[in-house]
Amino acid sequence: MGKILVTGGTGFIGSHTCVALINAGYQVVIMDNLCNSKVEAVARIEMITGRHVRFYRTDMRDEEDMRQIFEDNKIDAVIHFAGLKAVGESVEKPLEYYENNISGTLSLLRVMREYHCNVIIFSSSATVYGCNNEAPYVEEMPTSATNPYGYTKVMIEQILRDVCTANPEFTAVALRYFNPIGAHPTALLGELPNGVPQNLIPYLTQTAIGIREKLSVFGDDYDTPDGSCIRDFINVVDLAKAHVIAIRRILEKTQKEKVEVFNIGTGRGVSVLELINGFEKATGVKLNYQIVGRRAGDIEKVWANPDFANQELGWKAVETLEDTLRSAWNWQLKLRERGIQ
């Protein structure tokens, strides 16, 4: 069916996507420099799928090493997850973020061109809607960013458009994820943040299990029904499936544009307080939390209009929020069993 190179394939979303790809019949080659993930993810993908996976511990900026992957494997398409993703860190270390995410993508694209691999799916983000658009976001809205991380996503989308214009054979899909959460139902894969989590769900589950004392809810004075921010929380398994559909579409050349962009979200806005209530209901675990001041840079309301993905890809988020929150909790419990967190 095709051999797919998955950059960042041991990471949170990449690992779930590898499982979905293998289950759909694709061969998968993973490359990752393990700066934000563990090699055990490869064994876990193999455990879930019962299939062997080839793994390269490689930095995408190292073109010599990248060439070796393309020498060893006839790669039909690339799904490009590799990148640094912490918003706050990107403000403190802009050069590292531009260097890693932008230079890394340029190296990848150069090597792809050398080996006549012309098909790429890119992990973009709702962050490209910046702070001047109003939810629900539609793909045609102007893009911008509020931090270096966000700018790397805006820039890489543009780089892909330019490369596709210059090279008639090149095609790309950018999937703009909203807030990916949850874990694989087997609890063998999930999110494993380094240090103190910055994102809501890992902080929440670490609080629920006693690693953190209290979850801070950043603001209850927003112009929303309960005063807390609203997000579009998308289950990571649903998200992974969108990649399988996109890869099929692009490999079968049923794309309508050389570069297509899709929102990958549920279309449903859920507030931070609703999420906390939902977690308590789904798991029966009481959460210690307090309302504190707003976090700088937070946007009040973020949710997708996913109509384009629903209609064109035939993709729709199907997992319930309750099951998703339960899966995140089961993953946290498994981490404790394994003595990791």
Residue 137 forms beta bridges with which residues? 304
> Do residues 31 and 58 make contact, with C-beta atoms less than 8 angstroms apart?
yes
CA atoms of 295 and 293, how far apart (whole Å)? 7
> Do residues 121 and 315 make contact, with C-beta atoms less than 8 angstroms apart?
no
Encoded tokens for 272: 């931070």
Q: Which of residues 11 and 197 has its CB atom nearest to ligand NAD in the complex?
A: 11
Count CA within 13 A, CB hemisphere, residue 201.
28
Segment interacting with ligand WQD, rule: CB under 6 A, options 100-108, 110-118, 197-205, 234-242:
197-205
Cβ of residue 257: shortest distance to ligand NAD, in angstroms? Answer: 21
* Residue whose CB is nearest to ligand NAD in the complex, by number: 11
Segment interacting with ligand NAD, rule: CB under 6 A, options 9-17, 18-26, 200-208, 329-337:
9-17
Instruction: Say whether 149 is catalytic.
Output: yes
Binding partner of 87, given ligand WQD, ligand NAD, none, CB within 5-8 angstroms per partner class: ligand WQD
Q: Looking at 295, 311, 318, 320, which residue binds ligand WQD (CB under 6 A)?
A: 295
Residue among 170, 148, 150, 151 nearest 161 (CA): 170
Segment interacting with ligand WQD, rule: CB under 6 A, options 92-100, 198-206, 261-269, 332-340:
198-206
Residue 124 forms beta bridges with which residues? 176
Rg (alpha carbons) of the chain, rounded to whole number: 19
Q: Looking at 105, 143, 179, 330, which residue binds ligand WQD (CB under 6 A)?
A: 179
Is residue 76 a contact point for ligand NAD (CB under 6 A)? no
- State the DSSP H helix or E strand holding residue 23, giving kind and residue range, or none if neither: helix 12-23
Binding partner of 246, given ligand NAD, ligand WQD, none, CB within 5-8 angstroms per partner class: none
| Residue of 56, 98, 149, 203 marked active site | 149
Is residue 59 a contact point for ligand NAD (CB under 6 A)? yes
Residue among 174, 164, 3, 144 nearest 73 (CA): 3
Segment interacting with ligand WQD, rule: CB under 6 A, options 9-17, 94-102, 192-200, 243-251:
192-200
Is residue 299 a contact point for ligand NAD (CB under 6 A)? no
Is residue 171 a contact point for ligand NAD (CB under 6 A)? no
Is residue 180 a contact point for ligand NAD (CB under 6 A)? yes
Is residue 70 a contact point for ligand NAD (CB under 6 A)? no
Residues 6+ apart with CB under 8 A from 162: none
Residues 6+ apart with CB under 8 A from 87: 127, 147, 149, 150, 198, 297
> Do residues 148 and 97 make contact, with C-beta atoms less than 8 angstroms apart?
yes
CA 232 and chain centroid, separation: 13
Residue ranges binding ligand WQD (CB under 6 A): 85, 87, 125, 127, 179, 198-200, 203, 215-218, 229, 231, 272, 295, 298
Residue ranges binding ligand NAD (CB under 6 A): 8, 10-14, 32-37, 59-61, 81-85, 100, 104, 123, 125, 177, 180
